[in-house]
Amino acid sequence: MSENPVFSNLLSEFADVTAHELENANIHPSLARSIGVKVADAIAANFGGASLYIPRNAVGRSATRDREIAQEMAESGALATGIKFGISTTAVYRAAKRDAARRSPSKRI
């Protein structure tokens, strides 16, 4: 980490993860690294010294997986989708139902 060698381990990991994700999005590695360092600096400036809980985003990941399952089921059917995702056809239908419910407007008053 040549741009800021005085990072703690956690901030260094933030910089590394940010740079890695940017590189995966086809950002040049040196630019990705520079942005990663700036993000880590911003996190330190905004949250330094605070006890911070970072959720795993289980709801978001579940919603994304349900969407993928629903799309695959529409293309390939429930059986093939179940095999691809390693789940039963019942689980495929449940995931598709959850996805449809998330995308439909709320019926609450």
Q: pTM score, two decimals? A: 0.63
d(CA 4, CA 38): 9
Q: Which two tokens stand for residue 85?
A: 């995702």
Taking 70 as the threshold, does the pLDDT of residue 5 lie above it? no
Tell me the pLDDT tens digit for each residue of 20-69. Answer: 999 999 999 999 999 999 999 999 999 989 998 889 999 999 999 999 99
What pLDDT score does 2 carry? 44
The residue assigned the tokens 């040196």 is: 30
CA–CA separation, 20 and 26 (whole Å): 10
Q: Tell me: pLDDT of 12 over 70.
A: yes
How is residue 23 written in tokens? 């590189």
| Secondary structure (DSSP) of 64-106 | HHHHHHHHHHHHH-HHHHHHHHT--HHHHHHHHHHHHHHHSPP
Residue 32 makes CB contacts below 8 A (sequence gap 6+) with: 18, 19, 20, 22, 23
Domain boundaries, the chain: 9-47, 58-103
Residues 79-90: pLDDT tens digits? 999 999 999 999
> How many alpha carbons lie under 13 Å from residue 86 in its C-beta half-sphere?
1
CA atoms within 13 A on the CB side of 60: 3
